[in-house]
């Protein structure tokens, strides 16, 4: 059974930090992109950060310089370090695995991702 489970969300004051984790099981998650996506109430899901099989990361403009994505292939774990959090970062955060090769331009587009976690809520006040 393929499963991705996020954790690490919570409530934090503006300017604070959180570290999200996503543990995968039942699949080889090292061959294609993994990413973090978020969705706020009333807004569409947006790509936050991705990391490809070569360790190259890409970020939405809104989080560049504040967030950092990383992964531990041995533990099938994806991380998102979030610093300098602001109210606009409030959303449900999801991790995902693509299972196909994408162009860099497509890597922040949720359509291309096959496996998804259930999400972890981040609230910034």
pLDDT at 103 over 90: no
40: exposed, middle or buried (C-beta count within 10 Å: 0-12, 13-18, 19+)? middle
pLDDT at 124 over 90: yes
How many Å apart are CA 43 and CA 51, to the nearest integer?
24
DSSP 5-39: EEE--EEE-TT--EEEEEEEESS--SSS-EEEEEE
- Other C-beta atoms lying within 10 Å of the C-beta of residue 82: 26
pLDDT at 104 over 90: no
What's the rounded mean pLDDT across residues 67-78? 94
Q: Across the chain, what does the average pLDDT equal?
A: 95
17-58 residue pLDDT tens: 999 999 999 988 888 999 999 999 999 999 999 999 999 999
């Amino acid at each position: 059974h393929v499963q991705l489970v996020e954790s690490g969300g919570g409530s934090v004051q503006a300017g604070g930090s959180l570290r999200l984790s996503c543990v995968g099981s039942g699949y080889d998650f090292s061959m294609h992109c993994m990413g973090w996506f978020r969705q706020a109430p009333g807004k569409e899901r947006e790509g936050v950060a991705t990391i490809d099989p070569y360790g190259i990361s890409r970020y939405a403009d809104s989080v560049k310089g504040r967030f950092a994505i990383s992964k531990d292939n041995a533990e099938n774990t994806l991380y998102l370090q979030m610093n300098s959090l602001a109210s606009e970062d409030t959303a449900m955060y999801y991790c995902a695995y693509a299972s196909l090769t994408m162009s860099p331009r497509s890597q922040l587009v949720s359509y291309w991702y096959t496996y998804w976690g259930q999400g972890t809520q981040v609230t910034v006040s």
